[in-house]
């Protein structure tokens, strides 16, 4: 798991540094991930991801390459209605100094929620008062400390790192699954 989180962190860092630009890949046309070779494995979808999409009938892990050449892992949740498989949202893990956050977005790549998967011992930042400010935000929003994200706690430097990591992850999800738009 540490190796996976390191890969995600590196990918998010590359994205935050402007190493990738949004592409036009609508979620409806997203390809299915091919099954890995070798013996069958148990369902590797984290319980937190499954819990984030209670109406999903399946969750598929997607590993994609970023424009910077790094790997980016996400989980696409699907439901089946009237015999049709449809995406209901996407999730990814965000690592910041030993803590892990789960970022979930809807089909419009708007943040549904940011939750703590593994605590970094920073209750001011890990509490709902801070994390709930991300809800409803997308790449069209600033997602910046002091603009649309407020913090009145003492560990501002750490809070800023979380804001930057969440923004970078949302931008990667937009790149991978977002619908084409004018800007």
Domain ranges of the chain: 2-30+43-177
Better-scored residue on pLDDT, 2 or 67 = 67
Q: Against a cut of 0.85, is the pTM above it?
A: no
Neighbouring C-beta atoms of residue 14, cutoff 10 Å: 19
Strands (E), 66-134: 71-81, 84-96, 99-105, 111-118
Flag whether pLDDT at 81 surpasses 60: yes
Q: What is the reported pLDDT for 82?
A: 82
pLDDT in tens, 92-126: 999 999 999 999 999 999 999 999 999 999 999 99
Nearest CA among 150, 104, 93 for reference residue 127: 150
CA 67 – CA 50 distance, rounded (Å): 28
């Amino acid at each position: 798991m540490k190796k996976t989180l390191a890969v995600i962190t590196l990918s998010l860092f590359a994205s935050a540094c402007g190493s990738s630009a949004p592409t036009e890949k609508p979620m409806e046309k997203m390809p299915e991930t091919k099954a890995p070779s070798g013996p069958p494995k148990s369902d590797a979808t984290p319980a937190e991801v499954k819990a984030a999409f209670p109406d999903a009938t399946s969750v598929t892990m997607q590993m994609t390459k970023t424009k910077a050449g790094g790997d980016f892992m996400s989980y696409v949740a699907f439901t089946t209605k009237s015999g049709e498989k449809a995406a209901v949202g996407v999730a990814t893990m965000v690592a910041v100094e030993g803590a892990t956050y789960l970022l979930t977005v809807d089909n419009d790549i708007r943040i549904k929620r940011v939750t703590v998967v593994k605590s970094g011992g920073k209750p001011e930042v890990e509490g709902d008062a801070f994390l709930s400010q991300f809800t409803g935000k997308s790449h069209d929003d600033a997602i910046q400390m002091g603009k649309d994200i407020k913090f009145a706690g003492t560990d501002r430097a750490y809070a800023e790192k979380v804001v930057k990591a969440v923004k970078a992850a949302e931008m990667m999800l937009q790149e991978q699954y977002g619908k084409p738009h004018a800007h």
